[in-house]
Amino acid sequence: MRAVIPYKKENAKSRLSPVLSQNEREEFVELMLRDVVSSLNSAGITEIDILTTSSEGVPEDLDVNLIVADPGLNTSINSYLQNVDEPTMIIMADLPLVRSSHIKKIVSYPEDIVIVPGKGGGTNILFIRQPKDFTVKYHGCSFISHYEITEDLGKSRRVFDSFLASIDIDEPHDIVELLLYGNGLSKEYAEKRFCAETGKGRVKISPLSKLSGFI
């Protein structure tokens, strides 16, 4: 089996711009990618393809296959799937909380399709046993879309419900979960810039530079 990771580095994660500069965001997404690749490797998956529109943003030291594709997430992934003849995991690059234990469990299920939901109706991971039969439809409520596509194909399916696997780092408040539950390079990066601030409500992040004046 193999895994494919859609990846964009240039001006990535614009919704994190209130707390991270463009350069910081680009550094951050690279570290999240490294964490995802590390989890895949630890789960025994060594055939990893990086699907990107530019080879310049992919670290040269990663042991991965680089595939430069046309822009458009759905178009590039669907084109990729038509050329794959083995079970394939589509996993997003912004999932630093996914553990190797999650990946091992997902690929152990006998169903044709395993869907891992993300926050707000998204899809964070898809495991597809026969990739050429499947068409992805990301954006919007992609979890429902993939659920219905599986049903229309007459394929068996399983929903893998995991809090950690559901957390994609898109918004500033997502960094809280990384600080609390992460254990990789991206957590180390976040810890150098933020701390978790507790109060009467939910935990929030505070820039370390903001707190330095009170020390």
Record the tokens describing residue 215, joined without a space.
């020390």
pLDDT score recorded for residue 212: 40
Record the tokens describing residue 63, joined without a space.
């042991």
Q: From 37, 52, 54, 53, select the one nearest 89 (Cα to Cα).
A: 37
Record the tokens describing residue 76, joined without a space.
């590039």
Contact between 85 and 38 (Cβ < 8 Å): no
Which residue do the tokens 């429902």 mark?
Answer: 144
Three-state DSSP class for residue 29:
helix
The domain segmentation of the chain, as residue ranges, is: 2-170
Which residue do the tokens 């234990």 mark?
Answer: 101
Q: How far apart are CA 137 and CA 115, in angstroms?
A: 13
Cβ-count burial of 131 within 10 angstroms (0-12 exposed, 13-18 middle, 19+ buried)? buried
DSSP assignment of 127-166: EESSGGG-----SSSHHHHHHHHHHHHT--EEE---TGGG
User: 88: which strand partners?
Assistant: 2, 128
Helix (H) or strand (E) holding 204: strand 204-207
- CATH classification for the domain delimited by 2-170, as one of 3.40.50.150, 3.40.50.300, 3.90.550.10, 3.40.50.2300: 3.90.550.10
Record the tokens describing residue 53, joined without a space.
């529109």
Please state the pTM of the whole predicted model.
0.94
Note down pLDDT in tens along the chain; length 215 residues.
Answer: 999 999 999 889 999 999 999 999 999 999 999 999 999 999 999 999 999 988 888 999 999 999 999 889 999 999 999 999 999 999 999 999 999 999 999 999 999 999 999 999 999 999 999 999 999 999 999 999 999 999 999 999 999 999 999 999 999 999 999 999 999 999 999 999 999 888 777 888 888 865 443 33
Q: How far apart are CA 148 and CA 103, in angstroms?
A: 23
